Amino acid sequence: GADAKDETALFHRWNRAQESGEKLLLIADGEGWDIALPALASRLGAALHLEIGSPDDAMVGQLILSHAARRGLVLGEDALTYLVPRSSRSFAEIEKLVDNIDRLSLERKVAPTLGIWRDALEAVQGPEQARLL
């Protein structure tokens, strides 16, 4: 959990945002946060809470394509057919996967193909997990 100094700083930041009309976005993992400062606990309790769940297959495919496009990588349906069912449902790991595909493709000076996809999955998930499907 946060210490009293962190909670006090967040409390003051919250108040400044309210006074200025700014939006304040707080992001945390799903674990509960034991807040000692009652005024901060009250404000956070009254705030809108949203949970971002794990991406489904369609979103995983779109995330892979989006990250690839930003890097100038062209991945076709065959890549998605292979990668989507084997990919983690973690937003960060999907980005790492595409980073690895890009890096391996550049290192080997070839377009991304099955061997690169497999090696990129293994780099992110480990050898056993990458071969499960």
Query: For the chain, what are the domain ranges?
Result: 4-46, 57-130
Among the listed ranges 82-86, 97-101, 122-126, which one has the minimum average pLDDT value?
122-126
Among the listed ranges 2-11, 74-83, 89-98, which one has the minimum average pLDDT value?
2-11
Q: What is the mean pLDDT of residues 118-126?
A: 93
Give the whole-angstrom CA distance, residue 91 versus residue 96: 9
pLDDT > 70? residue 121? yes
Identify the CATH number of the domain defined by range 57-130: 1.10.8
Say what the pLDDT of residue 131 is.
55
pLDDT > 70? residue 40? yes
Q: What is the mean pLDDT of residues 14-21?
A: 95
Give kind and range of the element (H or E) at residue 83. helix 77-86
Sign, CA torsion 61/117/113/71: positive
Q: What is the mean pLDDT of residues 61-77?
A: 96
Say what the pLDDT of residue 127 is.
76
Q: What is the mean pLDDT of residues 7-36?
A: 88
Number of H helices, E strands in the chain: 7, 0
Which of 88, 99, 97, 92 is closest to 132 using CA atoms? 88
**Residue 132 banded pLDDT, cuts 50, 70, 90:** low
